[in-house]
Copies of this chain bind each other. A is one copy, B any other.
Amino acid sequence: MNRKELSALIRRKRSFLCVGLDPDPERLPKHLKGTADDPLFEFSRRIIDATIDYAVAYKPNTSFFEVHGSKGWQSLEKTIDYLKNHPKGPVFAIADAKRGDIGNTARQYARAFFEHMLFDAITVNPYMGHDCVKPFLQFKDKWAILLGITSNPGALDFQILQPQLPMLLEKMGIKTVYWKKLYEIVMEQSMNWGTYDNMMFVVGATHSDQLSNIRDLVPDHFFLIPGVGAQGGNLEDIAAKAMNKEVGILVNASRSIIYASSGEDFDLQAGKAAKALQMQMNAILEQNQF
């Protein structure tokens, strides 16, 4: 799916919601384990059916499939097949795999997710540099979504590193020129490896104080924004700071939707939670005349 198609989908569905498919073995509804032949796929399928009216994108996290080995990978293959052939499609499918390796190896990962499975996008870790990202940019209408600043506490370990001297001077009341943080350098440099037609960035909602700056730095690219809901990010605030002239954001919610209930009505409750978010998004889109 290319950028124009994704933007059109957002306008048509009145939603920029991405549903994270994280079928945690410890949180799957108990009744599924007994009855379903393939509980991972059954869970994913029912979540998709219940939420597809309200979501433009889905993001299975590979770890929850990989923990079951090749059998889990079969469930992942079934899930992406189901997604890409859904009668209520199209939807934008993101493999949240956070891969990253040197050139020829990265190419195999790209082929795994773009050719063997028909994902539209894959999350990629940029730490190893350009030759680990560019192989993902060679596929028509496919996307690499680079980790910019992530939503977890550990994001503060390295991603925000910046030279210590200006911070010291600031503490002493001496104004200095602005020195960039690591994630800003990463985003600014890596955005030139591709275009806004084949690259997005992960920008965690938990850093909402940085969001306006980040949007100034990277005006045109889509942001995939996790951290709304269970992790505490506020939707209106995020949209106000991060939207661009083509909407330009996908907001991911996982746990607040897929674990809205652990009973037999889990899909019904997931649908309600997704609808509530979509209605908020619709209001935001209207306010901004999309």
Query: Smallest CB-CB separation from A255: which chain B residue?
Result: B104
Query: A2-10, A49-57, A69-77: which lies at the B interface?
Result: A69-77
Give the interface residue-count category, chain A: 35 or more
A199 interfacial by beta-carbon distance below 8 Å: no
A210 to B7, CA, bound (A): 47
Is B69 a contact partner of A73 (Cβ separation < 8 A)?
A: yes
Interface mask (A167-203 → B, CB under 8 Å = 1, otherwise 0): 0000000000001001001100110000000000000
Is A24 a contact partner of B104 (Cβ separation < 8 A)?
A: yes
For window 133-173 of chain A, which residues contact chain B by CB distance below 8 Å? 133, 147, 150-159, 161, 163-165
Q: Which B residues lie within 8 Å of A100 (CB)?
A: 98, 100, 125
A209 interfacial by beta-carbon distance below 8 Å: no
6 A/B residue pairs, CB under 8 Å, sorted by A: A63-B105, A67-B109, A69-B117, A70-B77, A126-B157, A130-B153
Q: Which B residues lie within 8 Å of A186 (CB)?
A: 158
A206 to B247, CA, bound (A): 43
- Min Cβ gap A206→B in Å is 11
A190 to B154, CA, bound (A): 11
Q: Which B residues lie within 8 Å of A163 (CB)?
A: 163-165, 179
For window 191-232 of chain A, which residues contact chain B by CB distance below 8 Å? none
Give the number of times this chain occurs in the complex, counting copies.
2
Is B154 a contact partner of A128 (Cβ separation < 8 A)?
A: yes
A111 interfacial by beta-carbon distance below 8 Å: yes
A63-B112, A117-B69, A157-B129 as given contacts; A152 in contact with B98, CB under 8 Å:
no
A131 interfacial by beta-carbon distance below 8 Å: yes
Q: Which B residues lie within 8 Å of A159 (CB)?
A: 127-129
Q: Which B residues lie within 8 Å of A117 (CB)?
A: 69
Q: Which B residues lie within 8 Å of A153 (CB)?
A: 129-131
Is B67 a contact partner of A111 (Cβ separation < 8 A)?
A: yes
Instruction: Identify which of A72, A105, A164 gathers the most chain B CB atoms within 10 Å of its CB.
Output: A105
Contact of A73 among B25, B73, B126, B155 (CB under 8 A): B73
A108 to B64, CA, bound (A): 6
Query: Smallest CB-CB separation from A162: which chain B residue?
Result: B163
A63 to B103, CA, bound (A): 11
Q: A67-B108, A126-B157 are in contact. List 15 more A-B contacts (CB 8 A).
A: A61-B101, A63-B99, A64-B105, A67-B109, A68-B112, A70-B76, A102-B150, A102-B151, A126-B158, A127-B158, A127-B159, A128-B150, A129-B154, A129-B156, A132-B154
Query: Smallest CB-CB separation from A117: which chain B residue?
Result: B69
A121 to B164, CA, bound (A): 35
A131 to B64, CA, bound (A): 17
A120 interfacial by beta-carbon distance below 8 Å: no
Q: Which B residues lie within 8 Å of A68 (CB)?
A: 112, 116
